[in-house]
Amino acid sequence: MDRPAPCPETEPAAPALPRDRVAVVITAAGRGLRAGEGRPKQWRDLAGRSVLARSIDAFAGFGRIVVVVHPDDMARAVADLSGPVTLVAGGDTRSASVRAGLASLDASGLTHVLIHDGARPLVSRGVIKGVLAALAAGAPAAAPALPVADALWRGDGGRVTGFADRGGLYRAQTPQGFVLEAIAAAHRAHPEGAADDVELAHRAGLPVTITPGDDDNLKLTWPADFDRARRILGGGMDIRLGNGFDVHAFGPGDHVWLCGVRVPHGAGLVGHSDADVGMHALTDAIYGALAMGDIGRHFPPSDPRWKGAESHVFLAHAAALAREQGFRLGNADVTLICEHPKVGPHAAAMQARLAAILGVEAARISVKATTSERLGFTGRGEGIAAIATATLIGGA
Ligand code: CTP
Ligand code: MG
C-alpha cells in the first residue's frame, strides 16, 4: 500500500522553478554494506517495488532524472528501471558518484540540480517542494533537515564518556538542491569529497538554506530500517478477518446467556456449556481469523471439564491466542437472530461484557439483533442463531 499524498495545506506552494530547468541526480552506486543481506540495498524489495524504483518515482514531474548506478549493476538498471531516466556509472565514493552524475548533465537550459540518495525511497513531495521553493526564492543551496531532538552522548565500549550540546544541531537529509553551476564548481574545487553535497557547498562558501525535513524520509542504512520503512508504508500490517456461526435450541429454563449477559426468558438454551450462542459465534470468528480451528477443537464437547462451562473461558482463550500470535482485535460484530427474547435492552451490557473479556474498548464491539420474520427455526422460536465477524490486526 502506498502512503497517502501529503495534506495540501501543509505543502509549500508549487515550485516556481520550471521542470525543464531542474536536473535530479539520484545516487545509487553504493554497495549497502551496513544493510546486510549481501546485496545492494537499493535493489531490494520494499513492499512490492525496489527501493530505487520508489526513490525515482518520488521525483516524477520535478525535473530530468539521472540515476547513478554501480558499473556492475548497469545491465540490471537498464532492465529494471522504467521511465525516462538517464543511467550513469558511479564511482568509489558517494562524492565521486555525484561528480559522475553532474558531469553527465547536458547543462544547456538547466539551472538547478537536486541531489538525492537512492536509499531514501520515502521522500515526500512536500519535502522536495520545500527545497525547490527555497531555490526558487533565490537560495543558491537548500536542503531538508530536522533539529536533533534527543540528548547527545559520547560513548566508548558501551559506556557514556561525555555529553554534547544538541542546540543548533540538525540531522541532514536529501534531496539537497543547488544552483547547478555553483555545486559543479564546488565539486571541482574539492575533489576530496565530503559526507554530502551541502558540506562541499559550505566549504566552497555557498550559503545553505535549511528546509523542513521529515522523519519518514529515512535513509535505509541498517537492516532494521527496512522494517521501519515497511511500517511507514503500511506494508507491515497484517489484517485478518474471521467469521463464526452458532445455533442453540431452546429447552427448559427461565433464562438464557447471551454475549455474557443473563437474560430472563420463558425458556433456556440447551448446550454442553452455558450455551451462550453469541459468545460462541464470536469466539469462532477469532479462531477463524487466526485460521486455528474452532471452539470444538480447543474445548472438545467430549471433555467433561467443559460441561456447563461459562463461555467467557472460550472467548478469553481465543483472545489470548490472538495476542500470542501478535494480533490485536480491530473490531467485532455480533448479530443474534431470534424472535425472543428482545436483545435491544441488553445490547449495551453485552457490548461492555464482551469488551471486558477481550480487553478492548467497548466502541470496538458491536452487538445487534434481528428476527427472521417468523421464518425457519428461529422464526418458529425453536432456538437462537448468532453470526459474528472479527478483525485482527498484526504486524504493525
Ligand atoms: N552511493 C553512491 N556511490 C557510492 C557510495 C554511495 O552512489 N560509491 C549512494 C548509495 O547508493 C546511497 C547513497 O549514496 O543511495 C547514500 O550512501 P550510503 O547510505 O552510505 O549507501 P551505501 O554506501 O550503499 O551503504 P554502506 O555505506 O552501508 O555500504
Ligand atoms: Mg556508504
CB 363 within 8 A of CB 351: no
Cα–Cα distance, 362 to 197 (Å, whole number)? 54
CB 384 within 8 A of CB 336: yes
CB 213 within 8 A of CB 198: no
Instruction: Give ion ligand 2 contacts, CB < 5 A.
Output: 30
- Walking along the chain (396 residues) 10 residues at a time, the average pLDDT comes out as 45 69 97 90 90 95 96 93 90 97 90 98 97 97 98 97 96 98 96 96 97 98 93 81 98 97 97 95 98 96 89 97 91 97 97 97 97 96 98 82
Q: 87, 117, 217: which to mutate for ligand 1, most atoms within 8 A of CB?
A: 117
CB 256 within 8 A of CB 386: no
Instruction: Give the up-direction half-sphere exposure of residue 302: CA atoms within 13 A in the CB hemisphere.
Output: 1
Report how far ligand 1's centroid is from the alpha carbon of 44 (Å).
Answer: 14
Instruction: Tell me the domains of the chain and their CATH numbers.
Output: 19-236 (3.90.550.10), 238-394 (3.30.1330.50)
Closest ligand to C-alpha of residue 28 is 1
Q: So what's the pLDDT on residue 228?
A: 93
Closest ligand to C-alpha of residue 40 is 1
pTM above 0.75, yes or no: no
Q: So what's the pLDDT on residue 13?
A: 52
Cα–Cα distance, 140 to 122 (Å, whole number)? 25
Instruction: Give the up-direction half-sphere exposure of residue 282: CA atoms within 13 A in the CB hemisphere.
Output: 34
Which residue's alpha carbon is at the smallest distance from atom 26 of ligand 1?
Answer: 32
Report how far ligand 1's centroid is from the alpha carbon of 28 (Å).
Answer: 6
Report how far ligand 1's centroid is from the alpha carbon of 211 (Å).
Answer: 23
Residues with CB under 6 A from ligand 1: 27-35, 42, 68, 90-94, 97, 117-119, 219, 221
CB 56 within 8 A of CB 120: no
Cα–Cα distance, 203 to 139 (Å, whole number)? 16
Closest ligand to C-alpha of residue 31 is 1
Closest ligand to C-alpha of residue 220 is 1
Report how far ligand 1's centroid is from the alpha carbon of 69 (Å).
Answer: 10
Report how far ligand 2's centroid is from the alpha carbon of 95 (Å).
Answer: 10
Report how far ligand 1's centroid is from the alpha carbon of 129 (Å).
Answer: 24
